[in-house]
Amino acid sequence: MTSVDARLRVRYAETDQMGIVYYANYLVWMEVGRVEYCRASGVRYRDMEARDGVRLAVVEAACRYHSPALYDEEVIVRTWIEEANPRMIRFAYEMTEASGGRRLATGETKHVFCGLDGKARKLPEKYRSSFGMS
């Protein structure tokens, strides 16, 4: 799978007094994109956690802001896997304004697969192809 698009609309609560999206909300939107990517690839994160005790711990997050997102704009969060192996996965994101394609932000998150005890572990074999691993 190359990428997955998720759409959302900027809510008033996500903005400051100028109607511009508060910077931390982009990290929340990356999570929306990541969950939709997993779902589109056949993995429900909730099930992976409950059935197999696998969690994705964020160990790095970065976001570069290009243009402000504004109240009531529709945003597309494009998500793809930049790098993956049985111990970690790096997702990349591009957020654009839907009607004109204006680039809002780009970013990435790096995750380590962990057990319910919080200790690093390898991703079970049955999930690897869904995350682009052979």
Q: Give me the active site residues, please.
A: 16
What residue ranges in 1-134 does DSSP mark as E strands?
4-9, 55-65, 74-85, 88-97, 103-114
Cβ atoms within 10 Å, residue 56: 20
Going across the sheet that includes 103-114, the strands are: 4-9, 74-85, 88-97, 103-114, 55-65
Measure the CA–CA gap between 113 and 86, rounded to whole angstroms: 8
Question: Computed from CA positions of residues 14, 27, 23, 7, in that sequence, does the dihedral angle turn out positive or negative?
Answer: negative
Helix, strand, or coil (residue 13): helix
